[in-house]
Chain A
């Protein structure tokens, strides 16, 4: 490398700037398995005590496992709905000709960048009208609807890169458009699909405001509201190390997914998500 690519000063600067984040990550990890003297930062003993919420209901919030299962159902179903529906509609928008296609396209783009959270009052009313308020299904549908324009947009981008020749060949062999889509085009966009699946799953896993407002009951509690309780409650006795463990437990799947699918994720986040 040339002189302009000398890296030591850059590394030093980046390290200093990254320090706050690294400290936060490190202490989350360390504090969740150790105890320290009050007022001291250096841990003095090793303990699994802070993980007791896994087998004991010490938090007053009910079992963490129910919240975990709910979160899996919530994130999984949202991701599934988003993927399946954007898979078909993005194909229609990308490749099929039908009236008002331009209108739908513009609509998707506008909704894609829309201030969704301002709609929450109206969403509540609709859920209540459908009898889905305070149910997991209701929140899943809402979350999926709000994610859909983004999903469609991303999938359309992937469809656009599939060479026309593939479809042409299929159609000329006498297959229907549907068969062409299923047999020839779908395998081509498979990488995009899995990226979208991971993205929507993570997005559902992290969602906080929607479950907080639309499913306040304990039946539909997810991990974000389970954890947020510690932040919002004034009167609670503060046991930060316990929260850190709960938080770490909550983030574990996210970190695992990141480690496994790093490249795919960078790819789709580069495609422009909600900032």
Chain B
């Protein structure tokens, strides 16, 4: 075998490009985002400079000079020489003269009043609303409510308003609409009661779903092992389908089972029980449904892995044990289960990680309800960053939530890598072949 092979890199390149661009880069970006205050209002792609009335309150508290504050607050529209000259340039001298006659020296606090002043023109009417609005801007004396693309432009405007350098620095900070670096997200995350609740929910969810997955997977594998192959395959198919059915359809099926118009309600109504939403009725109901929805999917993985492991047990061993008088339970306890130690360990560690981060089924089924009872960490990250009723999506805070999972993910994968010989476990289990 040659020591070095350029073909290796050539063969790796396509995968490398795709994975780096759409997988590794997002991992790194998530780390960065977690330390920003990025949200809907700051935008993602950078900001501009804009002073608004609510910024003024902040300006007042931030220690700019009285003079600057007054300048900002009282600025408005003034019909002055400069403005009139510009008007003459943009339209004609007659228009400027008429406006000077009517309103020379007048001050207006809002643009609407300035527009009204322009409307007063009779001999030189400005008919288009759009023109009138543009012309009104010629008389502005304010930097308020104007978007500046760059800091230089903003500073230039501030300098033109003769605002001192020291105050400019404060204003630049206040007026910036984009995101800035911050460690607030992490602090907030650890100070919120809700974070702990999400963490506890997640723990609860992972522990119970995992127990169900492994326990029920074992039960399915062992019980089907004792059946004639035709019947065993039927049951395996029934339990395998949740795994390959699209999640959306699979959850819809649960809706039909559990909703107030669904099968359980119809069935119970024969016994005089009022129809109700069995999925969202109480927190306990919601948890049971969430765990079953995920558990049925997860159990099939266990079922397949464990089945193939059981199959490797020599049949002679089982027969021999029976000759020795072992009953079925003893057979399972002393022969089959020891054989399954590694697959169980593998399934548990593997599914711990994927359960920690999965929220697809919960999102579709309960969406964290009722009353946030089934809101797990990954779902909270999704809701915070991309999906909330308030409408101000908190990308930064959401990324901070995600970062916690990313760190857990990397650490546990690295640990698994160290402690398990993953290669033996993952590469070869193939049944029925």
**Contact yes or no, A22 B238, CB < 8 A:** yes
Chain B min CB distance to A73 (Å)? 16
Chain A contacts with B in 173-213, Cβ cutoff 8 A: 177-178, 202, 205-206, 208-209, 213
B14-34 vs A, Cβ < 8 Å mask (1 yes, 0 no): 111011011101111110010
B334 in contact (CB, < 8 A): no
Contact segment of A48-56, A58-66, A81-89:
A81-89
Chain A min CB distance to B25 (Å)? 6
**Contact yes or no, B354 A243, CB < 8 A:** no
A4: contacting residue among B239, B261, B328, CB under 8 A = B328
A111 contact set on B, CB distance < 8 A: 19, 23
A213: contacting residue among B22, B255, B386, CB under 8 A = B386
Q: Which 8 interchain pairs have the tightest Cβ spacing? A: A115-B357, A98-B8, A145-B22, A157-B427, A122-B26, A122-B29, A118-B402, A96-B8
**Contact yes or no, A14 B223, CB < 8 A:** yes
Q: When chains A and B are docked, how far (Å) is the Cα of A152 from the Cα of B228?
A: 36
Q: When chains A and B are docked, how far (Å) is the Cα of A175 from the Cα of B150?
A: 61
B21 contact set on A, CB distance < 8 A: 126, 141, 145
Chain A min CB distance to B242 (Å)? 7
**Contact yes or no, B12 A122, CB < 8 A:** no
Interface residues of B (CB under 8 A from A): 1-12, 14-16, 18-19, 21-23, 25-30, 33, 44-45, 213, 220, 223-224, 226-228, 231, 235-249, 251-257, 261, 263, 266-267, 269, 296-298, 300-301, 304-305, 308, 318-319, 322, 326-328, 331, 346-347, 350-351, 353-360, 363-364, 378, 381-382, 385-386, 395, 398-399, 401-402, 405-406, 408-410, 413-414, 416-417, 422, 425-433
Q: Which range holds the interface residue count of chain A?
A: 35 or more
Chain B min CB distance to A235 (Å)? 15
Q: When chains A and B are docked, how far (Å) is the Cα of A4 from the Cα of B239?
A: 24
Chain B min CB distance to A122 (Å)? 4
A97: contacting residue among B5, B213, B300, B416, CB under 8 A = B5
Supply 20 further A-B pairs (C-beta < 8 A) apart from A24-B256, A122-B27: A13-B223, A20-B257, A22-B238, A39-B269, A41-B263, A85-B18, A97-B3, A109-B417, A116-B357, A126-B21, A148-B19, A153-B426, A161-B428, A206-B244, A206-B248, A209-B363, A231-B248, A251-B245, A251-B246, A272-B426
Chain B min CB distance to A64 (Å)? 14
A72 in contact (CB, < 8 A): no
A267: contacting residue among B23, B28, B213, B431, CB under 8 A = B431
Closest to A81 in B: B18
A92-103 vs B, Cβ < 8 Å mask (1 yes, 0 no): 110011110100
**Contact yes or no, A178 B432, CB < 8 A:** no
**Contact yes or no, B356 A115, CB < 8 A:** yes
Interface residues of A (CB under 8 A from B): 2-7, 10-11, 13-14, 18, 20-25, 27-28, 31, 39-41, 81, 84-86, 88-89, 91-93, 96-99, 101, 104, 106, 109-111, 113-123, 125-126, 128, 141-142, 144-146, 148-149, 152-153, 156-157, 160-161, 177-178, 202, 205-206, 208-209, 213, 223-224, 227-228, 230-231, 238, 240, 243-244, 247, 250-251, 254, 258, 262-263, 265-267, 269-275
A13 contact set on B, CB distance < 8 A: 223
Chain B min CB distance to A83 (Å)? 11
B256 contact set on A, CB distance < 8 A: 24, 27-28, 31, 240, 244
B11: contacting residue among A5, A96, A206, CB under 8 A = A96
Chain A min CB distance to B246 (Å)? 4
**Contact yes or no, B30 A119, CB < 8 A:** yes
Q: When chains A and B are docked, how far (Å) is the Cα of A207 from the Cα of B250?
A: 13
**Contact yes or no, B354 A113, CB < 8 A:** yes
Closest to A263 in B: B432
Asked if A275 meets B15 with Cβ closer than 8 Å, knowing A227-B252, A230-B252, the reply is no
**Contact yes or no, B297 A228, CB < 8 A:** no
Q: When chains A and B are docked, how far (Å) is the Cα of A202 from the Cα of B247?
A: 11
B23: contacting residue among A27, A146, A178, CB under 8 A = A146
